[in-house]
Structure 1
Amino acid sequence: MNSPVTLDRRVGPYGEVVLRRRDEDFEIIANGTFLMDTSDGRSERLLVDAAMDALPEPARAGAAVLIGGLGVGFSLAHAAADPRWGRIAVVEREEAIIDWHRGGPLASISGRALADERTVILHTDLVAYLETTTDRYDALCLDIDNGPDWTVTEDNESLYGTRGLASCADRLNPGGVLAVWSARPSVDFEESLRNAGFSGVRTEEIPVARGVPDVVHLGVRPA
């Protein structure tokens, strides 16, 4: 494996974000913390599929999904490949990441999805958006950190607490699904979901080559 090559480096309101290429794969680094790469998108695809599968059958056709975090584009591309999703909104606060997808190096992953008429990119902070918007969704698929216990910035910590989960529930239609990606399981977050009133709380795992598995935490807003 060769050393990574830096393709772009920017400093914005939330710190530094870097796009690197290592051999054939791209990597995103935020404030010195590895976020994700394009070597294996199984857990990002599971994030979307698990949310769809947790919806009641009548709600699946034309369901609206909010994807929190554009990242390398795997979740968006996978959602756009599924005709059951009716509206696909993606919240991304880093202008650099949006640029890398719109005509940049990551367009090869997300280009078709971005051109899909169902897709809209919202350039804003996810926590602020959830607290202020009146839009509602059938599923929230959130992947902005390495998990509830390992956030990229301190500002994100509130998303996984009482106030943040209440905002998530408010943005979901009755019977809607909250799906949260994490680099490791969190028993404490499962308990937080239950305390916030979510039902059917469970964790789905994706084995990795080394260490603990990636997971998707799931909870349903009661109908």
Structure 2
Amino acid sequence: MAAPDDSPVVLDRREGPYGEVVLRRHGALLQIIANGCFLMDTSDGRSERLLIDAAYDALDGRPAPAVLIGGLGVGFSLAHASDDPRWGRITVVEREPAVVDWHRAGPLSELTRGALADPRTRIVRDDLVRYVNETSDTFDALCLDIDNGPGWTVTEDNESLYSPAGLAACARVLRPGGVLAVWSAKPSPEFEGTLRNAGFRRVRTEEVPVARGVPDAVHLGVRPG
């Protein structure tokens, strides 16, 4: 018997390197669930696009900046960066092979097909925490959207990314004057303080009102030149 219209339908369920990941359809929406925790869906995307735009604006017109996007998700951030010809190299780090597959040959491909074909785009299958600690690449912008916020991480391992040591690793991959942008499901004044204590300048938070509850937020900080 077919599922009722208001019931989510599981399209794919996999055991990944960090636990279970699920792609499901709920009406017209596609949703990603990790270990039973709702991560994101295709309902809006305003805050994910703000993550990219706010990072670019903080670079004060730097030509063809290179951006590192932490987390592919449903692809809003990647697609928005690809739609903007002002960006240079676009690197996306995604640790879940299933998510990459859903974009390359699955239901999410309709959102990112053009972005994945963009010659500026490179997808790296890796854990972002490990990547920022080990890569020799540098970027002008680092846009993080791998958790529900600094205080609400998908896995315990991610908590280190928002610590002083983790922010030092983020600063290491940023070129002088580069910007760190962090997506959060709610504003965090505490994290603003952590950014300042880690040496970031021009720390601020931009908010996106939502229909219910507290607004989504993008926390920004600039590495000193």
**What TM-score comes out, normalization by structure 1 length?**
0.98
Q: Does 1:27 align with 2:22?
A: no
Partner of 2:17: 13
Matching residue within 143, 146, 150 for 1:144: 146
Cα distance in 1 for residues equivalent to 2:104 and 2:17: 20
SS at match of 1:102: helix
Q: Secondary structure at the match of 1:189?
A: helix
| 1:44 maps to 2:48 | yes
How far residue 150 of structure 1 moved from its aligned partner, in angstroms, is 0.1
Give the letter aligned to residue 13 of structure 1.
Answer: P
Measure, in 2, the Cα distance between the counterparts of 1:11 and 1:212.
Answer: 32
Q: What does residue 169 of structure 2 align with? A: 167
- Per the TM alignment, residue 133 of structure 1 is displaced from its structure 2 partner at its CA by 0.5
Aligned to 1:133: 135
Shift, 1:103, TM fit? 1.3
Q: Deviations over 1:184-219 (max 9, x none)?
A: 111111111000000000000000000000000000
**Alignment identity in percent?**
72
In 1, Cα distance between equivalents of 2:17 and 2:10: 21
Q: Distance in 2 between matches of 1:164 and 1:56?
A: 25
Equivalent residue for 1:218?
220
- TM-score, normalised with respect to structure 2: 0.97
- Indicate the residue corresponding to 1:116 in structure 2: 118
CA-to-partner distance for each residue in 1:80-104, whole Å, 9 max, x for gaps? 0000111000000000000000011
Kindly state the Cα deviation for residue 56 of structure 1 after the two structures are TM-superposed: 2.1
AA matched with 2:195: L
2: CA distance, partners of 1:24 / 1:194: 41
The residue aligned with 1:78 is 80
One-letter identity of the residue aligned with 1:20: R
Distance 1:44 1:35 in 2: 13
Indicate whether 1:157 and 2:159 are aligned: yes
- Separation in 2, partners of 1:82, 1:222: 26
Show the counterpart of 1:94.
96
Distance in 2 between residues matched to 1:18 and 1:105, nearest whole Å: 12
Code of the aligned partner of 2:94: E
What runs of 5+ residues in structure 1 fail to find an aligned partner?
none
Report what 2:106 is aligned to.
104
Separation in 2 of the partners of 1:200 and 1:86?
Answer: 23
For residues 23-46 of structure 1, the C-alpha deviation after alignment (integer angstroms, 9 at most, x for no partner) is 111000011110000000000000
In 1, Cα distance between the equivalents of 2:172 and 2:154? 24
Distance 2:6 2:16 in 1: 29
Aligned-partner SS, 1:152: coil
1:29 and 1:157 map into 2 onto residues whose CA distance is 19
**1:56 and 1:175 in contact (8 A); partners too:** no
Residue 14 of structure 2 aligns to a residue whose secondary structure is strand
Instruction: Count how many residue pairs are aligned between Structure 1 and Structure 2.
Output: 221
